[in-house]
Amino acid sequence: MLDEDAKWFAVSLRITGDALDPTQLESLLGLKPDILGIMGQPRMGKQGRQYAPYETNLWSYREGLSSEIGFDQRIQSLFERLGHRVSELQRLSATEGVDVELFCGFGSGNGQGGDTLRPETLKLLVDSGLSLTLDLYPPTIDTDDTA
């Protein structure tokens, strides 16, 4: 459970699709994936536990800045890492059967908070063809508390 005032942010570039060969994306984008899933192969948990197989191909890169750093700076950092390879995201985004998204997660201990994306950051997203997905986590309720 998070401290009441604690907040965290996460940003991942996720590319999925049956028509996608995720094994080619590391060299294409210059980023080492945190998750590479092949359709039909079992998902593996962090502790080695096996889960249901991937329903489609998946390539995911998580921007590794400190969890307290907000979306805007994380997105800017990701685009700096990509450099000229952003054109590959544009090409992938236009490929039928391939989905390219920026997956942004946020959570806070008290359920409050947010972030701001500057116009230049939004323009990067639009120009690259990325979809933006927001995943917002409510605070965890401690069930051990007695009223």
**Amino acid letter for position 84:** H
Return the number of other C-beta atoms located less than 10 Å from residue 136's C-beta. Answer: 12
The band of 142, judged by pLDDT with boundaries at 50, 70 and 90, is low
Percent helix, strand, coil in the chain, to 5, is 30, 30, 45
Which candidate, 45, 3, 10, places its Cα nearest to that of 140?
3
Over residues 98-131, the pLDDT tens digits come to 999 999 999 887 777 788 999 999 999 999 999 9
Q: Please determine, for residue 14, whether its predicted confidence score (pLDDT) is greater than 70.
A: yes
What are the structural domain ranges in the chain?
7-137
Residue scoring higher pLDDT (113 or 19): 19
CA 142 to chain centre: 27
Sorting pLDDT into bands at 50, 70 and 90, what band is 2? low
Q: What is the mean pLDDT of residues 2-15?
A: 83
